[in-house]
A = this chain, B = another copy of it.
């Protein structure tokens, strides 16, 4: 399966020490997943490799990946670099990086039923990307294609952590203070209260170890504050968590508008609701910024003030832009899977690789395994 890689070079000594030799974290990236694959994915990956000192395993059609790498070596690529401003040309010396290419002859498309697709397409880029982590060839993976396929292949390829029924996606949303963790952000559309309780446990470990929150407070996403509110799932989850109130530092129900008010650090919900929350947040922010832009264009005074206000608005955009967050961790599997936005371009992928590297360093999945056991 693995052909001879195109570029393998000696790397700079920015890696961590493993045993008595120098070791660089290797991130496997599904080069074929996402709306802008493969070029933007490959570009973001090599950018991250150069900036954060990680090694890469790029998985996908070998000839297309090689083409991308050659173009990047010769011409670089355009990216807004996260300043929400105009794109500038990014140059990366690809030849100086430690890059392994793994050929994948198949691709799982967005519309395919995940479970079926990963069984049928054993040579798909996402299955082989997960395989790279499962076999120890890479330390973590980044995928921007079908979330369902990334989740299913991680579940089957890496296996569940004992005591966790279903893995879940941890999403971080910005607030005026610390980010809040919403879990599940879209891995499981149909959930049980027991699953949400497990999400609460994993979310707390994530909040503590990745975001540095001491004794994170847990809430249930609901449509009212009182105990009897909401659908059956929310009501029963409330009861389960209330029974172990101290263990979970359980704060009760949290309404949609309170997500951003720092009333708790981890909010649990099923993946359908969590994914809607994530995307509505994105949609509202984008609408509001558009409205502000158009309001500033309403007269000449507005245009002048709008121009003056631009750097401030850019900083806001940066604070809320999903590209800055890079990717969401899939928690509950025996390995590190970072799921990126399907619309990710190079800058978002660069940040997703950073998230993957940090997850390797904090050993988040091992901490979940230890804590659940």
Task: Give A contacts to B, CB under 8 Å.
Answer: 110-111, 113, 174-176, 186, 189-190, 221, 223-228, 230-232, 234, 255-261, 270-273, 275-292, 294-296, 298, 302, 305-306, 308-309, 312-313, 315-316, 319-320
Given contacts A294-B176, A305-B305, contact A277 B256 (CB under 8 A): yes
A–B complex contacts, Cβ < 8 Å, 13 sampled: A110-B224, A111-B227, A189-B232, A189-B234, A223-B276, A234-B272, A256-B278, A257-B279, A260-B283, A284-B284, A291-B316, A292-B316, A306-B312
- CB-based contact B285/A256 at 8 Å: no
Given contacts A260-B283, A276-B223, A284-B284, contact A302 B291 (CB under 8 A): no
Residues of chain B within 8 A (CB-CB) of A270 are: 231
- CB-based contact A312/B320 at 8 Å: no
B228, B273, B286, B305: the one within 8 Å of A276 (CB): B273
Please, how many angstroms separate the alpha-carbon atoms of A271 and B230 in the complex? 9
Majority SS of interface residues in chain A?
helix
B223, B230, B232, B281: the one within 8 Å of A284 (CB): B281
Q: How far is the CB of A84 from chain B (nearest CB, A)?
A: 13
Residues of chain B within 8 A (CB-CB) of A278 are: 256
Q: Which residue of B lies closest to A261 (CB)?
A: B283
Oligomer copy total: 2
Q: How far is the CB of A324 from chain B (nearest CB, A)?
A: 14
Q: How far is the CB of A291 from chain B (nearest CB, A)?
A: 5
Residues of chain B within 8 A (CB-CB) of A296 are: 309, 312
Residues of chain B within 8 A (CB-CB) of A280 are: 256-257, 259, 277, 280-281, 284
Please, how many angstroms separate the alpha-carbon atoms of A280 and B257 in the complex? 5
B113, B231, B309: the one within 8 Å of A190 (CB): B231
Residues of chain B within 8 A (CB-CB) of A315 are: 295
Q: Which residue of B lies closest to A230 (CB)?
A: B189
Q: How far is the CB of A90 from chain B (nearest CB, A)?
A: 27
Residues of chain B within 8 A (CB-CB) of A174 are: 287
- CB-based contact B276/A176 at 8 Å: no
Given contacts A231-B189, A312-B292, contact A221 B302 (CB under 8 A): no
Given contacts A221-B276, A232-B190, contact A286 B260 (CB under 8 A): yes
Please, how many angstroms separate the alpha-carbon atoms of A364 and B273 in the complex? 30
- CB-based contact B305/A312 at 8 Å: yes
Residues of chain B within 8 A (CB-CB) of A305 are: 305, 308-309, 312
Closest 4 CB pairs of A and B: A256-B279, A257-B283, A256-B280, A284-B284
Of residues A176, A228, A277, which shows the largest number of chain B Cβ atoms within 10 Å of its Cβ? Answer: A277
Please, how many angstroms separate the alpha-carbon atoms of A12 and B9 in the complex? 87
- CB-based contact B291/A320 at 8 Å: yes
A110-B226, A292-B316 provided; 16 other pairs, C-beta below 8 A?
A: A110-B225, A189-B223, A189-B230, A223-B272, A234-B272, A258-B283, A260-B283, A280-B280, A284-B288, A285-B288, A295-B315, A296-B312, A298-B312, A305-B305, A305-B312, A306-B309
